[in-house]
Amino acid sequence: MKTMRMIIAAIGLSLFGQAASAQATKPALIAYLSVKDALVATDGDKAKAKAEELVSAFNKVAASALSATDQKALTAAKASAASISKTSEIEVQREQFETLSKNMIVLAKSTKPGKAYVQFCPMKDASWLSDKKEVANPYYGSKMLKCGKVTDEI
């Protein structure tokens, strides 16, 4: 019986940690989606400003509440967002967005901060998160707006 109580307590702490992580990463997901939307619109100045908000949101996430894998993803995502926030050059931003997205997908899958769709562009061989099922490609903007498909739902 004592072992059963310990298992239940461990599960409860794990679920509490996931819920706390979801609350902490939700603002980051919202800010990430704003960066994505700016890249879809090919607006380098807006992407730069939204990336600054994303860095701020990442700074509020308690890394100690995350797994080691998620801590690495958070660090890498924050570095990519910081790089995007330092330039208005859309192609440079889009290159950084690829690494940002890879790490945001890791964080979103483990912390589940809100409903999101993983979308994939075969031309870029890269994925991103969206809050809509309809594909709007941030890597090519209006040049190839609908290029991609939904590969997963979080």
Measured CA to CA, the distance from residue 96 to residue 82 in angstroms comes to 9
Q: Which residue has the tokens 């809509």?
A: 132
What pLDDT score was predicted for residue 24?
Answer: 75
> Which pLDDT score is estimated for 5?
43
What is the C-alpha to C-alpha distance for residues 19 and 33, in angstroms, rounded to an integer? Answer: 21
The C-alpha atoms of residue 134 and residue 14 are separated, in whole angstroms, by 33
Check residue 21 and give its pLDDT.
66
Q: Within a 13 Å sphere around the CA of 102, how many CA atoms are in the beta-carbon half? A: 14
pLDDT reported for residue 25? 87
Residue-by-residue pLDDT tens, the chain, 154 positions: 544 443 333 333 344 344 446 677 899 999 999 999 999 999 999 999 999 999 999 999 989 889 999 999 999 999 999 999 999 999 999 999 999 999 999 999 999 988 999 999 999 999 999 999 999 999 999 999 999 999 999 9
Contact status, residue 2 vs residue 10, Cβ threshold 8 Å: no
pTM for this prediction: 0.85
How many residues would you count in the chain? 154
